[in-house]
Amino acid sequence: MALSLDYLLGLGVWLVTLPLLLWLSLVWRRSLRRRQRSLTRANLALSLWLLLVCLTGCELYFAFLYDQSDSFNRTNVSQKWFARWVTQKPLIFTGREGIPYRDDRDFPKALQPGQQHVVFVGDSFTFGHGIRRVEDRFSNRVRAAFDQRAPNQVLVTNIADAGKDLYWVSEVADRLATHRLPVTTLVYVLCLNDIESFDRERLAPPAPPPAAPPSAWNSFVSLLAAPYHWLVKETYFLKFVDHRLQWARVPRATSYYADVEESYQGPAWQKMFAQLLDLRKTCRDAGIDLRVVVFPFLHNLGPNYPFTKAHEQIVAACQQQQIPCLDLLPVLQPHARENLTVSLFDAHPNERAHALVAPVIADEFLADLWNKPGPSGTPPAEPEPQPSEPQPSEPQPSESEQPGPTQPKLDQPETKANDLPQRETPPAP
C-alpha cells in the first residue's frame, strides 16, 4: 500500500493548516490580553495545537520512515511494507488457474537429466513475512548452498504463501501432480498453528461485538465518531495505535497459545495427521519425495517452551509413517536469548533465524539430494525408512473425523485467522 495521491494531498493541506491555526491562536491570545480577559481558553487552544503537532510528527514518521511489518498485516504501515518489499509472480497450473509465489527465480517448466527440484511449501514462516530480501530466507540460502556444492544439480523453489494451511498445501500438491509439473522433493514446513484449521471451534477468532440497536442516540454517536474512524482508516500512526488497542481487548488473545497446545492432545491432531497422510499419498503416487520441517514458535522459546510435547508428537508420528521429518526446535532453542523475531510487533522469524536453520536443512536434512540421481523417465525413488526406536502408535482417524469436502480453493484460499503468531498479546496475569 504505497502512499496514495489523496493521502499526500490531504497531508499537504494539513501541513499548511497547522501554521495557520497557530497564527490564529496567537492573534486570539493577543486580543484577549489587550482586553485584559482570561487567557485560559487561548492557552488551551495552544496546548491543543502542540498536541496536533506531536500527532502530525508521529504520522510523518510512520508514513515516511517507519518500515516494518506486523504479525497480522492489518495496519497501514505493514501493508505499505508489503507493497514495497513483496513481489509475487504467478505459477500457472492450467488456463487461468494458479497461485502467486514469491521468489527470485522462475518455477522450472522441465528438468534436465539428473536434476532434482526441491519445492518448499508452507505459510508465512516459509513465505518470509517480515524478510525484505528473498535471498535472506532459509529456502534461498539452501538454494545458494546447493548451487555452491552441486551446481545445476538441485533446483529450489519457494511457493509458500502467508495465511495458508495444510489443506492448501494438499491442494497445491494435487495440482502439481495432476499437471505433471517437475517436482522431485516437496518440503512441507509445518508451523504449529497449522492445526487451527482442524479445530475451528476452539481456535476460531472471536466474534465481533453485536451492532448497537438503531436509535437516534446511536446514530448521533456514530455521526460524531465518523471523523475518527475515517482518520484511523486513512492514517498510519492512528491505525497502528488503534490496532494495538483493539488487540488488547480481544478476549481470546491471552489463551490462544494454550488452546493451540491443547489442540494437539485431542481429535484435531488426528484430523491434521490424517490430512498429512493424504498429502503423503498424493506425493507418493506422483513419485514426489515428501519431507516435513517443523518450525517452532519463536516468541516464547526457552526452558519453559510449552510446545515441546507437540514437537515430539509430530516427529514420532512422521517417523512411524516413514516421512522424513526435521524438528528445528533443537536448532533454535540454544539461541533463545537472541533476537530471532522480526520486531516487537512481528513474531515471524527474522534473518538471523533463517540463517540458523538453513545450514541444517541443506547440510543434513537434504544432503542426500546432492548425489541422488534425478528423473530420467522414471520418478525418483522414495527414501528408505530410517530405523528408529519404537514409538507410540500414531493417531488413526475415524471416518467421522476426516476433513470435510469444503476445502479452500486455490483462487480464493481461506486465510487462517491467527496464522501469524504474535508477541503483542500481553502475558496473562
Q: What is the pLDDT of residues 118-177, one digit of tens each?
A: 999 999 999 999 999 999 999 999 999 999 988 889 999 999 999 999 999 999 999 999
Burial per residue of 145-181, b for 16 or more beta-carbon CB atoms within 10 angstroms, e otherwise: bbeeeeeebbbbbbbbbbbbbbbbbbbbbbbbbeeeb
Q: Using the structure block, give the residue that is written with the C-alpha cell 489463551.
A: 255
Residue 80 has pLDDT above 80, yes or no: yes
Residue 368 has pLDDT above 80, yes or no: yes
- Which helix (H) or strand (E) segment holds residue 58: the answer is helix 40-60
Give the Cα separation of 134 and 83 in Å (integer).
14
By the 8 A CB rule, do 121 and 156 touch? no
Q: Which residues on adjacent β-strands are paired with residue 118? A: 156, 185
- Residue 405 is predicted with a pLDDT of 36
Average pLDDT, the chain: 84
Residues 168-221: tens digit of each pLDDT: 999 999 999 999 999 999 999 999 999 999 988 777 655 555 555 666 666 666
pTM here is 0.81
Residues 306-347: tens digit of each pLDDT: 999 999 999 999 999 999 999 999 999 999 999 999 999 999
Fold of 89-201+255-375: Rossmann fold (3.40.50)
